[in-house]
Homo-oligomer: A and B are copies of this chain.
Amino acid sequence: MSRWEPDAIGRLQKAALELFGERGFEPTTVADIAARAGLTERTYFRYFSDKREVLFAGSAGLQALLADAVAGAPESVAPIDAVATALDAVVGVFEGRIEHARQRQAVISANPSLQERELIKMAALSEAVAEALRGRGVGDPAATLTAEAGISVFKVAFTLWIDPGNQRSFPVVVRDTLAKLKAVTAE
């Protein structure tokens, strides 16, 4: 077999989601995932440190995108609007991937160890946004509070967006959720 496996990450993610859906997360092994993807276990561990990590492959990219978008927002906008602009920019990544997002969320919701990993990733996302805000000259605690508010909006909007009854696009749900956060904190 060639050392070069086209789209190995994408194939491993797809295989993992299929198997976690069919058999559950715990009974599935890394060997099963690699076999389903037509790859070796060795290849799996070239990309992911453990069985959980295949579900979080997008996290580092999302974090970098979000931090860059906060840093790149027009100088004149308020911190919360820099975060809003950044969320707008990044949620485009999810377009056309709602089924993938739903399958992934179903697996995570069924497994406490995956929920823990998700919490850690979200905390890292919040800290990256806070750091990007500090880079814009926003002091603390404003930077931390604004970042936490932005990540809360992202998490809540994500849940609303993947709901089977939802008809709205992710960017629309994000904007509406931010407006609701502003309303509840303004009371």
Give residues in A with beta carbon < 8 Å to B: 78-81, 116, 119-120, 123, 141-142, 144-146, 148-149, 152-153, 155-156, 159-160, 177, 180-187
- Alpha-carbon gap, A123 to B155, bound state (A): 12
**Contact between B123 and A184 (Cβ–Cβ < 8 Å)?**
no
18 contacts between A and B (CB under 8 A): A78-B184, A78-B187, A79-B184, A141-B156, A142-B184, A144-B156, A145-B156, A145-B177, A145-B180, A145-B184, A146-B184, A148-B155, A148-B156, A149-B152, A149-B181, A182-B185, A185-B186, A186-B186
7 extra A-B contacts, CB within 8 A, seeds A141-B177, A148-B155: A116-B120, A119-B120, A119-B123, A141-B156, A152-B152, A181-B185, A186-B186
- Alpha-carbon gap, A150 to B65, bound state (A): 27
Contacting residues, chain B, for A149 (C-beta < 8 A): 149, 152, 181, 184-185
**Contact between A141 and B160 (Cβ–Cβ < 8 Å)?**
yes
- Alpha-carbon gap, A166 to B184, bound state (A): 29
Contacting residues, chain B, for A80 (C-beta < 8 A): 184-185, 187
